[in-house]
Chain A
Amino acid sequence: DVKVTQSSRYLVKRTGEKVFLECVQDMDHENMFWYRQDPGLGLRLIYFSYDVKMKEKGDIPEGYSVSREKKERFSLILESASTNQTSMYLCASSSWMGYTFGSGTRLTVV
């Protein structure tokens, strides 16, 4: 069964901490995405990557960065977490056939 795996389901971090959200896919997909989900706003694209070491800003990249050192792994980094980054984060990968989503990480910044 093909999968997109996010390393944590729930995280609680303190303001100012550096936070890493990890995502791994086993489908050999070229494309990977990080979305943020907030009530009433749907899923908004933070960053995406079409290849190893490649990254592109999405619609809301401020306060985030990403890393893609290997094809199967796409990491989202919060350099200095703030309370307004409390949210659900969803990772996805895709090919021309479609998209597969991870189970999500609910991040709370206190």
Chain B
Amino acid sequence: ELKVEQNPLFLSMQEGKNYTIYCNYSTTSDRLYWYRQDPGKSLESLFVLLSNGAVKQEGRLMASLDTKARLSTLHITAAVHDLSATYFCAVDMEYGNKLVFGAGTILRVKS
């Protein structure tokens, strides 16, 4: 059974600081997603990572994937208040047939 562990579960950051969210998963998979969720809203897809060594960047967020270590990271550079949200990683077991989520990281950026 696939398990996805995400840490930390809660992250309080000062504006301008850097930090990393970690996502470990227990079995091989086809794809890994990172999502953002604002309070009361649905999920917004941030990144899809397909292969070992994949790195994607959008603004102050960068995601990477190490399939051998079964680890993905979401790195936040020079955080700003607008990045405050809940971030989820999710592992796709069979190309669209099942998505297993981590518990989510609540990010609060303080000015």
Interface residues of A (CB under 8 A from B): 31, 33, 35, 40-45, 48, 50, 90, 92, 94-99, 101-104, 106
List B49-67 residues whose CB lies under 8 Å from chain A.
none
Q: How large is the interface on B (under 10, 10 to 19, 20 to 34, 35 or more residues)?
A: 20 to 34
Interface check B68, CB cutoff 8 A: no
Q: Which B residues form the contact surface with A (CB < 8 A)?
A: 4, 6, 9, 31, 33, 40-43, 45, 48, 88, 90, 92, 95-104
A42 and B88 in contact, given A50-B97, A94-B96 (Cβ under 8 angstroms): yes
Chain A contacts for B101, CB-based, 8 A: 35, 42-44
For B6, list chain A residues within 8 Å (CB): 42
**Interface contact A92-B99, CB-CB below 8 Å:** yes
Residues of A within 8 A of B48 (CB): 98
Give 9 nearest A-B pairs by CB, closest first.
A94-B96, A42-B101, A42-B103, A43-B101, A96-B95, A103-B42, A101-B43, A96-B96, A101-B42
- Whether A95 contacts B41 by the Cβ 8 Å rule is no
**Can you report 20 residue pairs joining A to B where beta carbons are below 8 Å apart?**
A31-B96, A33-B99, A35-B101, A40-B103, A42-B102, A42-B104, A43-B101, A45-B99, A45-B100, A92-B99, A94-B97, A94-B99, A97-B96, A98-B31, A98-B48, A99-B33, A99-B45, A103-B41, A104-B41, A106-B40
